Amino acid sequence: MLSRFIAPCVLAASLAFSATHHAANAQLVDRVVAVVNDEAISFRDLDARLRLALVSSNIPDTQDARQRILPQVLRKMIDERLQLQEAQKQNIALSNADVDGAIAMIEQQNRMPRGMLLSGLARQGIDPSRVREQIKADMTWLRLVSRMAASQIRIGEEEVNDRLQSIAERQGQREVHAAEIFLPVDNPEQEAESRALGEKLMEGLRAGTPFSALARQFSRSPTSANGGLLGWVSPGMVDDEMSAILERLERGQTSELARTSAGFVIMTILDTRIVGQTVDPDNSTVTLARMVLPTPAGAPPKSELMERAAKLTRNTPNCAAFDGLAAKAGATTTRVGPTRVGELAADLKRAVAGLRGNQVSPPVDSPEGIVVAMVCDFQESLVATPPTAEQVRRQIEEERRDMLSRRYIRNLRRAAFIDVRM
């Protein structure tokens, strides 16, 4: 095995290859920057991924930004090559329909209208095929790990019963629905560059970039394929360092960049609950602001208008600001509620499903125009729902699958021929 770390000269070299330089020098663009076993990564490949990472993360395409993110982007590309090569050996391949389904899931997770992901990136000069390539690599790896887990992971009844007992003992304690961005530090040379990238990602988060978009592009954890989602966790389910970070956060909060023994992490809490209780959505009480943006004759295509509506309302802090945006945009707003969620009209109920206070729905096309809803207030109705043995079994399997994935890619790196030529 031959493996070379990405040296500081990579960063300096990257700054010389702007889009105009690429257009003027095709030979340089096709130069190989890394070899992964017998497969090459070219400057063209790297530049396309850099631009995708910058655009989807809402980071300005500057020399400083490229300098900070290039090493991590290249390492992620190397990992993807290793993962796809291993999947090919195991005769695992995804169809176009599989990739389409994954794209639809990403749009749903980010509350984007159907078709907005690829169309929005295309309007910013990103080749949709590059997006599909990355998503295909992520989903192929998940399928490969799932197959390996099916043959290697065995969960006994005693283990399930022990977990059920532990849950019973934690009745009344807090659980959090968490997500992570993980930037490893495998050697001293990576310390500064991982910190620099983490600081850049924090800037993106403060500017309103979705956490899941940054996790998908930059995180080196197996959870990156799912936007960094860890699922529901409580003390004892994650290591002490991560537990200490999560304990300081409330729903909707994101941590600062934190150094752990393995690298740098950024964590966010999407939701919280009490162990043994879940929210009864239909009996919860909600107050909404409903904005209607008119679509007059001669207006741009609906897809473009919906994308504009999403950008307009995405980072709205509260319903008062939401009303102000509507007034500036020539739209109307009305209040709905307080009322039970189960009593909402079907279209509103679908739009706000899963939202909490001061969260905005994706735009919806309606006969009135483009409708966006914002939750002004949400009062949960809680019911006691201890997990079933099957739910606990699936949770343990997911934890084991995550550990298997981390070990699997680490072993692939160790056994591979990786030659970085920058």
Question: What pLDDT shows up at residue 26?
Answer: 55
In the chain, where the domains are located: 281-382
Encoded amino acid at 268, one letter: T
Q: Judge whether residue 22 has pLDDT over 50.
A: no
Q: Which CATH class is domain 281-382?
A: alpha beta
Model confidence band, residue 7 (pLDDT cutoffs 50, 70, 90): very low
| Mean of pLDDT values over 319-346 | 89
Model confidence band, residue 235 (pLDDT cutoffs 50, 70, 90): low
The two structure tokens encoding residue 75: 């390492």
Is residue 48 a contact partner of residue 29, using CB atoms and an 8 Å limit?
Answer: no
List pLDDT tens digits, range 137-167: 888 998 898 888 888 888 888 988 888 888 7
| Whole-number Å distance between alpha carbons of 274 and 99 | 36
Question: What pLDDT shows up at residue 181?
Answer: 95
Q: Judge whether residue 16 has pLDDT over 60.
A: no
Angle between helices 389-415 and 128-152 (to 10 degrees): 110
The two structure tokens encoding residue 105: 């899931």
How many Cβ atoms are within 10 Å of 350's Cβ, its own excluded? 11
The two structure tokens encoding residue 1: 């095995």
* Residue appearing with tokens 């990103």: 126
Q: Judge whether residue 371 has pLDDT over 50.
A: yes
Q: Judge whether residue 375 has pLDDT over 80.
A: yes
Question: What pLDDT shows up at residue 207?
Answer: 81
| Whole-number Å distance between alpha carbons of 186 and 85 | 23
Question: What pLDDT shows up at residue 19?
Answer: 44
Model confidence band, residue 53 (pLDDT cutoffs 50, 70, 90): confident
Question: What pLDDT shows up at residue 170?
Answer: 73
